[in-house]
């Protein structure tokens, strides 16, 4: 039987007191590539935030990478995030240091100590996203697509069990979006599980995969047709 990485049962998502999504029953298995789609304001980001512990799961049950979201305490959140790789629309790289130092910073913050191993890991993840030769560039010296590749490399540093990508191509032009998507596809082929929120239907058509939709306060799986 395949390993379940994410499992939500009768889960409801709230922004403070207001209900955003209710009665969610979904699961994601190891190795899957899953899209989360839906119009603006339907709750994709709120859904993602709940998964990485930025919003509490107040109703229902949720298991993610072996952690229980409904009983998650504040001090367990860093531990949960170490098992996840998170990619945002706006890259969130530190502009005051180069790419290598951006990644070393994360390794240090997550408990890595040995300099050689840290450098080796940084080279490994940058190679995976085709950015090895740009390690001494600063974020502002890179294009949006390159910055997003680095952000993906950063998400890979601690060998995450699940990658959560919230609109990773939202700030990119169509051609660059495809390039970044190719990187995510490659990573998925190598065994990483990915949940990607997007409203880029062109990508869905080009790279069809399991798709969850947020609509009318519900999340449900949709079968991809030519127009979703």
Ligand X SMILES: Nc1ncnc2c1ncn2[C@@H]1O[C@H](COP(=O)(O)OP(=O)(O)OP(=O)(O)O)[C@@H](O)[C@H]1O
Sites of contact with ligand X (CB under 6 A): 15-16, 20, 38, 40-46, 199
**Burial of residue 82 (number of CB atoms within 10 Å: 0-12, 13-18, 19+):** middle
Smallest separation, CB 167 to ligand X (Å)? 7
Residues in the chain: 228
Please check whether residue 166 is in contact with residue 136, taking contact to mean a CB–CB distance below 8 angstroms. Answer: no
* Minimum CB distance to ligand X smaller for 45 or for 102: 45
Smallest separation, CB 39 to ligand X (Å)? 7
**Burial of residue 217 (number of CB atoms within 10 Å: 0-12, 13-18, 19+):** middle
Smallest separation, CB 179 to ligand X (Å)? 22
* Minimum CB distance to ligand X smaller for 16 or for 113: 16
* Minimum CB distance to ligand X smaller for 156 or for 204: 204
Smallest separation, CB 183 to ligand X (Å)? 22
* Minimum CB distance to ligand X smaller for 43 or for 135: 43
Q: Coil, helix or strand for 24?
A: strand
Angstrom distance (rounded) from CA 24 to CA 13? 9
């Amino acid at each position: 039987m395949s390993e379940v990485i994410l499992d939500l049962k009768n889960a409801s998502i709230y922004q403070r007191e207001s209900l955003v999504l209710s009665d969610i029953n979904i699961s994601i298995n190891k190795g899957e590539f899953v899209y989360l789609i839906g119009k603006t304001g339907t709750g994709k980001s709120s859904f993602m935030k709940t998964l990485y512990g930025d919003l509490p799961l107040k109703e229902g049950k949720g298991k993610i990478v072996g952690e229980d979201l409904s009983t998650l305490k504040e001090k367990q959140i860093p531990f949960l995030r170490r098992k996840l790789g998170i990619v945002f629309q706006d890259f969130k790289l530190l502009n005051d240091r180069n790419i290598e130092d951006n990644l070393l910073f994360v390794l240090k913050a997550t408990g890595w100590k040995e300099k050689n191993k840290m450098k080796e890991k940084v080279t490994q993840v940058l190679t995976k996203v085709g950015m090895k030769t740009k390690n001494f560039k600063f974020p502002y010296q890179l294009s949006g697509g390159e910055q997003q590749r680095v952000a993906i490399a950063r998400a890979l540093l601690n060998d995450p069990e699940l990658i959560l990508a919230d609109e990773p191509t939202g700030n990119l032009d169509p051609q660059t979006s495809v390039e970044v998507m190719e990187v995510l596809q490659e990573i998925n082929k190598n065994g990483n599980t990915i949940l990607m929120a997007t409203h880029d239907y062109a990508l869905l058509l080009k790279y069809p995969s399991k798709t969850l939709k947020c609509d009318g306060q519900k999340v449900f799986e949709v079968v991809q047709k030519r127009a979703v």
